[in-house]
Amino acid sequence: MAERRNCEFQTEDGTTLRGWWYRGEGDNRPVIVMAHGFSATKEMYLDDFGGYFADGGFDVLVYDNRNLGESDGPRPAEIDPWQQVSDYRDAITWISGQDGIDAGRVGIWGSSYSGAHVLVVAALDRRVKCVVSQVPLVDGLENARRLIRSDVWPTLRQGFDADRAGRLRGEDPLTIPVTFDQSADEPCALPTQDSHDFFFGPIRERATNWENLITLRSVELFTEYLPAAFIARISPTPLLLVVATDDVLTPCDLALGAYEEAREPKKLLVLPGGHFDAYIDDAFATSAPVQLDWFQTHLGK
C-alpha cells in the first residue's frame, strides 16, 4: 500500500504546484502523473483514481493546476492550456528525479481538459511511455460551437477583444462563471446541466476551495485549442482513450473521430452515460480496472 503525502514542486517559471504523492517502497518504481480538467481541483475524484492506481503498484503524482486549488496562482482564475501542458512536463521532470522512481517508466493520465493536455504531452514528450485520456476535449472551437448558441458568438468575440484591450491598459481581466448557478441562460463557460449538477452537487463537500470563476481569456484560449492535431503523433507511445456515449460537454463523436486518427498501439473504451459519470459508480468500476491494466501492461507493475 502506498502512502499518500502532500507535496509541492516548482515549475520552470517558479510557480509552486501542490498536490499528493502516493509513494511506494523500494527502487525503480513506475509512476503516473495526473491533473484535473477545466477549473476542477484534485479533490473532485482524483483521489479515487490515484488511490486505485497506487494500490495497483504505482507511485502517483496528483496535483492542482496553477491558479486553481492549492497551487499558486500568478494569474488567478486563468486557465491557459499551453501553460498547463508545460506544467505537466515540469511535473514529469520533478517526479522523475525523486528517489526510487524509474524515470524510464512514466505514464500520464488526464480527464476532460487535462485529457486533452495528455494527448499533446504524449505526442511531444518521449519520456512518456503510456497515456490514458478520459472524456477529452479534442477540438476547442468545434466543442465551443456545440456549447454556445450561434447568436451569442458575436458578443463573445467582442468580449475577447475588449478584454485584450483592457489587459493592455493594465486593467483587471474580465471574468465569467465556470457554469451557471440558477439558470442555464446565465452567461458561463460550461452551460450544460450536468456541469451545473456536478460542480454544485455533493462534490462541493470534498472540493471546498473550488471557485465558480475563470477569466474570459480562458474561454478564448479554449476556442483556440486543438489537441486532436497531435493525436497521430503519439505513437509509438500506447494510448488508451475513454469516452462516454452521452457526453454533451466533450461530445463523444468528436473524440471518436480523433481516435480514428491515432496510430497503434491504441485502445478505446466506451462507457455508458455522460461526461461526469466517468468519475463515479458503475462507470468508475468498469473503467478504473481497464485503465490500471493499460498502465500495468505498458509500464510494468
**CA 276 – CA 111 distance, rounded (Å):** 10
Does the structure show a pLDDT above 80 at 207? yes
- List pLDDT tens digits, range 59-112: 999 999 999 999 999 899 999 999 999 999 999 999 999 999 999 999 999 999
User: Does the pLDDT of residue 18 top 70, yes or no?
Assistant: yes
Task: Using a pLDDT cut of 90, give the percent of the chain over it.
Answer: 94
**What are 105-159's pLDDT values in tens digits?**
999 999 999 999 999 999 999 999 999 999 999 999 999 999 988 898 999 999 9
pLDDT number for residue 149: 86
For the stretch 256-266, pLDDT in tens is 999 999 999 99
pLDDT 10s digits, 210-243: 999 999 999 999 999 999 999 999 999 999 999 9
Coil, helix or strand at residue 17:
strand
pTM over cut 0.85: yes
Per residue in 44-59, pLDDT (tens digit) is 999 999 999 999 999 9
What average pLDDT score do residues 249-273 get? 98
Of 102, 86, 117, the C-alpha closest to 234 is 117
pLDDT mean over 193-221:
97
Across residues 161-165, what is the average pLDDT?
98
Residue 30's pLDDT is 98
Predicted local distance difference test score (pLDDT) of residue 1: 65
Residue range 168-188, pLDDT digits in tens = 999 999 999 999 998 878 899
What is the pLDDT, as a whole number, of residue 184?
A: 78
pLDDT for position 199: 97
Question: How many angstroms separate the CA atoms of 63 and 78, rounded?
Answer: 17
For the residues of the chain, what is the DSSP string, one character each? -PEEEEEEEE-TTS-EEEEEEEE-SSSSEEEEEE--STT--TTTTHHHHHHHHHHTT-EEEEEPPTTSTTS--SSTT---HHHHHHHHHHHHHHHHTSTTEEEEEEEEEEETHHHHHHHHHHHH-TTEEEEEEES----HHHHHHHHS-GGGHHHHHHHHHHHHHHHHTTPPPPEE-SS-SS-TTS--S---HHHHHHHTSGGGGT-TT--S-EEHHHHHHHHH--GGGGGGGSTTS-EEEEEETT-TTTTHHHHHHHHHH--SSEEEEEESS-TGGGGSHHHHHHHHHHHHHHHHHHH--
